[in-house]
């Protein structure tokens, strides 16, 4: 089963990018998933199936505007 992915989620991959980072940010959703390396800023596109095989886990995006007001 393919994982549920949302925009701005951080995805940790099994193998490191040549820059040394393993964390990527989801920048585009569709048949292909757009990812941006958080180490060097490189952008790549992967199919959902390839992403599902290559990733370790997903860290959901933090909602910055939902902090309670006093």
Residue 1 confidence (pLDDT) = 67
Phi, psi of 54 (to 5 degrees): -90, -15
DSSP per-residue string spanning 19-46: TS--EEEEEE-SSEEEEEETTT--EEEE
Residue 61 confidence (pLDDT) = 74
- The pLDDT tens digits for 2-59 are 778 899 999 999 999 999 999 999 999 998 999 999 999 999 999 999 999 999 999 8
């Amino acid at each position: 089963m393919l994982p549920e992915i949302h925009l701005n989620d951080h995805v940790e991959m099994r193998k490191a990018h040549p820059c040394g980072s393993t964390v990527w940010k989801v920048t585009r959703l569709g048949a292909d998933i757009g990812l941006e390396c958080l180490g060097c800023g490189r952008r790549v596109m992967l199919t959902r199936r390839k992403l599902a095989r290559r990733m370790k886990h997903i860290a959901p995006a933090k909602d910055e505007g939902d902090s309670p007001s006093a």
